[in-house]
Amino acid sequence: MNDETPTIDDPGSERPDSAEPKRQAGRPPRRLLRSSSDRVLVGVAGGLGRYFRVDPVIIRIGFGISILFGGIGALAYLLLAIFVPTDGEPDRAQRLGGRLSSLGFWRGAGMVALAALALAGLFGLAGGAAFAVALGWGVLVAIGVIAIGAVLGLTALRGGARWLIAPAVALALGAGVAAASDLDFRGGIGKREYRPLSVRAIPAEGYRLGIGSLDVDLRKLGWGKRRVVRVRVELGAGQADVYVPSRVCVTGPTHVGAGESQVAGERNDGLDVDHSAGTGVRSTPRLEIDANVQLGQLRVINSDTARIDDPDYGPGPMHEDAAPQRAAEARACANG
Amino acid sequence: MRERVKLDPVSLTSGAVIAALGALVLLDSSGGLDVSLGWMAVALTGAAGLILIVSGLAGERDGRSG
């Protein structure tokens, strides 16, 4: 007999004056089961909604939001999908849960650890492919991906090799993202600070860094009244900061492959962030910048007081208001 | 008598899709094509989606026949 079955089912225990237990006798025992009828993925939200008598849509929204906060909701969903049975025909998740339960705790934990290790391996493969592309071996990596794809296709004639799909996709993913974002780590790794005192000290090919922090402080430069300075900044991944005096008008194109650009108080973020500051403006003194950050943050800071050694300086939701920089930029570019 | 080998559509489709992604990376790396990150994201998610759809359809077919 099921432990959860109400004892009122026992004919000997029924009393004529107990109306409430009679009503309960017809109901099935309340048990958390995944829903086979109200399901989007495997019926976890549908089952929880029925159990707690809440609209499953609210639970789905809750899971969606919780994924944004460290992914704990995704983990909870996965565990519920595997270990909570469905109210219909046993599905794949339930069979997996049954298999894991039959293994016992330690073997089950070992299996989970192995799966986590495999996942980490896939991340490693994707990262390795991206790194190789960023180091300039993009063509070789691409040929490797094509070769793996061809081998996988050929194995289809002999029953297939589906185990090869996940690593091949991880390789293609890492290589594709690195190639499309033009990641270039060949400029070195680390922290670089430049404080040129004259225009001649600015390298013609510009300032370049592969990965890390690149600071270019142009505030000690002899700007004069009519000076126009051209600077090129290239960064693979990390943060690039260019500091100019508040009276200098900043113009020119900037590009961020993935991340954020804050140019003279204007903030943009996302993928392929292109910005063109002060198009057509001829005010002097003027900085004509050509900056390209593939992954990370680019800041062009119009401020006489910002400290180069303060990594938290600058406009943004967590730091200083961008309005003073926008005002400084507007004044500088308006004065011819 | 020779045993008839079953063609695996999942491996075939995945192989073709991965080779196509590799060709896209090759074109981008060699300078033949300038693929933006946004379009690469479209290509990658499309490829993953196609593999999942074919896997799902093949799984359903295997379930019916098995």
Position A125 scores a pLDDT of 93
Position A303 scores a pLDDT of 82
Q: Of A63-72, A91-100, A253-262, give the lowest mean pLDDT range.
A: A63-72
Mean pLDDT value of segment A125-137: 91
Per the CB < 8 Å rule, is B25 touching A179?
A: yes
Which residues, 6 or more positions from B27, have their beta carbon under 8 angstroms from its beta carbon? B33, B35
Look at residue A51 and give its three-state secondary structure.
Answer: helix
- Among A143, A149, A181, the residue with its CB nearest the CB of B15 is A149
Query: B15: how many CB neighbours lie within 10 A of its CB?
Result: 25
- Among A159, A169, A177, the residue with its CB nearest the CB of B48 is A169
Q: How confident is the model at residue A145 (pLDDT cuts 50, 70, 90)?
A: very high
Task: For residue A294, give the nearest of A228, A247, A238 by alpha carbon.
Answer: A238
Is the minimum CB–CB distance between A167 and chain B shorter than 8 Å?
Answer: no
Per the CB < 8 Å rule, is B26 touching A153?
A: no
Spatial contact of A217 and A193, defined as CB atoms under 8 Å apart: yes
Is the minimum CB–CB distance between B7 and chain A shorter than 8 Å?
Answer: yes
- Among A149, A159, A179, the residue with its CB nearest the CB of B16 is A149
Chain segment A41-80, per-residue pLDDT in tens: 888 989 999 888 888 888 888 887 776 666 677 888 888 8
Spatial contact of A50 and A57, defined as CB atoms under 8 Å apart: no
Q: How confident is the model at residue B44 (pLDDT cuts 50, 70, 90)?
A: very high
Chain segment A105-120, per-residue pLDDT in tens: 788 788 878 888 998 8
Task: Go through chain B and tell me how many residues it has.
Answer: 66
Per the CB < 8 Å rule, is B8 touching A142?
A: no
Position B17 scores a pLDDT of 95
Position A214 scores a pLDDT of 92
Chain segment A157-204, per-residue pLDDT in tens: 888 888 999 999 999 999 999 898 888 888 788 889 999 998 889 999
More confident residue, A113 or B18: B18
Q: Is the pLDDT of residue B61 over 70?
A: no
Per the CB < 8 Å rule, is B9 touching A142?
A: no
Position A26 scores a pLDDT of 59
Which residues, 6 or more positions from B51, have their beta carbon under 8 angstroms from its beta carbon? A165, A169, B10, B13, B14, B17
| DSSP assignment of A128-184 | HHHHHIIIIIHHHHHHHHHHHHHHHHHHGGGT--GGGHHHHHHHHHHHHHHHHTT--
Q: Is the pLDDT of residue A147 over 90?
A: yes
Q: Which helix (H) or strand (E) segment is B62 a member of? A: helix B37-65
From A140's Cα to the closest Cα of chain B, the distance in A is 8
Mean pLDDT value of segment A270-281: 83
* Sign of the torsion formed by the C-alpha atoms of A248, A249, A255 and A261: positive
A-interface mutation test, from B3, B14, B51, most A Cβ less than 10 A away: B14
When the pLDDT of each residue in chain A is averaged and rounded to a whole number, the result is 82
Residue of B nearest to A146 (CA): B19
Chain segment A207-249, per-residue pLDDT in tens: 999 888 999 999 988 887 778 899 999 998 899 999 988 888 9
B-interface mutation test, from A125, A135, A162, A255, most B Cβ less than 10 A away: A162
Distance CA A282, CA A323 (A): 23
Position A123 scores a pLDDT of 92
**Residue B61 has which token pair?**
């077919």
Task: Go through chain A and tell me how many residues it has.
Answer: 336
Position B3 scores a pLDDT of 62
Chain segment A29-46, per-residue pLDDT in tens: 678 889 888 888 888 989
The single residue listed with the structure tokens 């006798």 is: A25
Position A1 scores a pLDDT of 38
